[in-house]
Amino acid sequence: MSQQSDPQPLIAILQLAYSGELAAAYAYRGHWHSVNDADERTRIQEIENEEWHHRQLVGEMLSSLDSKPNAFRETRAAILGRILSVLCHLSGWLAPMYGAGKLESRNIREYETAARYARNCGRDDLVDCLLTMAEVEWEHEHYFRARVLGHRWAKRLPIWPQPPAKETIRKSFAHS
């Protein structure tokens, strides 16, 4: 079997994403409960719901590949997400916003990579959904970046690298 047709890299990144979405959703649940501003609460709750939706989609992709989530990662993600959920109530406003933005930045690349793996193993039917999830993660990163940059300490923080414009997600995929 050639490397181009091997689904294992796709399965591995989808298992990682599936568990990551679990940790993120639990963390965002605590995050939106911890903020006072009504608009922030609403937006972070929407982000939590989008993470649950991504988890459902990724789970369906794993099933279509005759695979399932990694049990160890699932347990670890559930514990981590719940710990982060509690820490949101203890750490103040900035740390959860910063952590969320940095994490979402990584998730953009993870879904772009998954789309490439899907194409490489002949699963073009998954590509559009994976790129759409990358675009949604871009929106999440954009929201958290704006919140962090609006904080009075922003100039003192090393901000994670800004992802390219949202439009480049599909453009870069088309040219790779």
Tell me the CATH number at 105.
1.20.1260.10
The dihedrals phi and psi of 77, each to the nearest 5 degrees, come to -65, -40
Q: What is the mean pLDDT of residues 167-172?
A: 90
Distance of CA 25 to CAs 5, 57, 101, 174, Å? Answer: 32, 14, 14, 30
Report the Cα 157 to chain-centroid distance in Å: 22
Number of domains in the chain: 1
Domain that holds residue 156: 3-174
Q: What is the mean pLDDT of residues 91-114?
A: 93
State the sign of the Cα–Cα–Cα–Cα dihedral 5, 64, 57, 127.
positive
Rg, the chain, Cα only: 17
- The reported pLDDT for the residue numbered 172 is 78
pTM of the predicted model as reported, rounded to 2 decimal places: 0.93
Helices (H), the chain: 8-34, 38-64, 71-90, 94-120, 127-149, 168-174
- The reported pLDDT for the residue numbered 4 is 60
What does the pLDDT look like over 120-158, one tens digit per residue?
999 999 999 999 999 999 999 999 999 999 999 888 999
What does the pLDDT look like over 37-76, one tens digit per residue?
999 999 999 999 999 999 999 999 999 999 999 999 999 9
- The reported pLDDT for the residue numbered 103 is 93
